[in-house]
Amino acid sequence: MKNSIFNYSAIVFFVAVLAGCASNRTVADLPISIKEIGSFHVGGRTAVLDGLPKKEVRFTPTQPPVILDPNGEFEVEQMYAQYTLVSDEKKRGAYPLVMIHGGGLSGVTWETKPDGKPGWQMFFLRNGYDVYVADAVERGRASWARYPEIFKSEPVFRTKKEAWELFRFGSTYTVGSAQRDAYTDTQFPVERFDQFMKQGVPRWVTNDAPTQAAYNALVEKVCPCILMPHSQGSTFAYNAALKYPNLVKAVVGIEPSGALDPNKTDLSPLKNVPMLFVWGDKIRETPRWGGIVAPLKTMISALKSQGGIADEIDLPTVGVRGNSHMIMMDRNSDEVAKLVNDWMMRKGLSKP
Among 93, 96, 119, 262, binds a second copy (CB under 8 A): 119
258 binds a second copy per the rule CB under 8 A: yes
End-to-end CA distance of the chain: 36
- Residue 6 C-beta: closest distance to a second copy, Å: 32
210 binds a second copy per the rule CB under 8 A: no
> Tell me, what DSSP letter sits at residue 113?
-
Nearer to a second copy, 145 or 349 (CB): 145
Tell me the window of 43-51, 182-190, 279-287, 310-318 that interacts with a second copy (CB under 8 A): 43-51
Among 62, 179, 184, 263, binds a second copy (CB under 8 A): 62
Q: Are 244 and 273 in contact (CB under 8 A)?
A: no
Among 121, 207, 333, 341, binds a second copy (CB under 8 A): 121
Nearer to a second copy, 110 or 183 (CB): 110
Among 200, 229, 262, 280, binds a second copy (CB under 8 A): 200
| Phi, psi at 108, each rounded to 5° | -55, -30
Nearer to a second copy, 3 or 63 (CB): 63
Among 11, 12, 17, 156, binds a second copy (CB under 8 A): 156
Among 58, 304, 346, 351, binds a second copy (CB under 8 A): 58
- Residue 162 C-beta: closest distance to a second copy, Å: 7
Among 257, 324, 341, 350, binds a second copy (CB under 8 A): 257
189 binds a second copy per the rule CB under 8 A: no
Q: Are 134 and 107 in contact (CB under 8 A)?
A: yes
Instruction: List strands edge to edge, sheet with 248-254.
Output: 72-86, 131-135, 97-100, 225-229, 248-254, 275-279, 310-314
Please report the DSSP string for 151-169 in residue order: SSS--B---HHHHHHHTTS
211 binds a second copy per the rule CB under 8 A: no
Tell me the window of 6-14, 107-115, 273-281, 302-310 that interacts with a second copy (CB under 8 A): 107-115
Tell me the window of 12-20, 83-91, 274-282, 324-332 that interacts with a second copy (CB under 8 A): 83-91
Tell me the window of 92-100, 253-261, 273-281, 305-313 that interacts with a second copy (CB under 8 A): 253-261
- Residue 234 C-beta: closest distance to a second copy, Å: 9
Which amino acid appears at position 128 of this protein? G
63 binds a second copy per the rule CB under 8 A: yes
Q: How far is CA 79 from each of CA 18, 39, 171, rounded to the nearest angstrom?
A: 41, 11, 34
β-strand partners of 100: 229
CA angle 250/33/344 to nearest 5° reads 20
181 binds a second copy per the rule CB under 8 A: no
Q: Tell me the longest C-alpha to C-alpha distance in the chain.
A: 89
287 binds a second copy per the rule CB under 8 A: no
Return the residues of window 13-32 that contact a second copy according to CB under 8 A.
Answer: 28-29, 31-32
227 binds a second copy per the rule CB under 8 A: no
Total number of residues that touch a second copy (CB under 8 A): 86
**What number of other Cβ atoms are within 10 A of residue 83's Cβ?**
18
Among 72, 290, 348, 352, binds a second copy (CB under 8 A): 72
**What number of other Cβ atoms are within 10 A of residue 292's Cβ?**
19
Asked whether the CA dihedral 248, 251, 256, 262 is positive or negative, the reply is positive
| Phi, psi at 75, each rounded to 5° | -90, 130
111 binds a second copy per the rule CB under 8 A: yes
Q: How far is CA 186 from each of CA 174, 183, 284, rounded to the nearest angstrom?
A: 18, 5, 15
* Ramachandran region, residue 193 (left: φ > 0; alpha: ψ -120 to 50; beta: rest): alpha
289 binds a second copy per the rule CB under 8 A: no
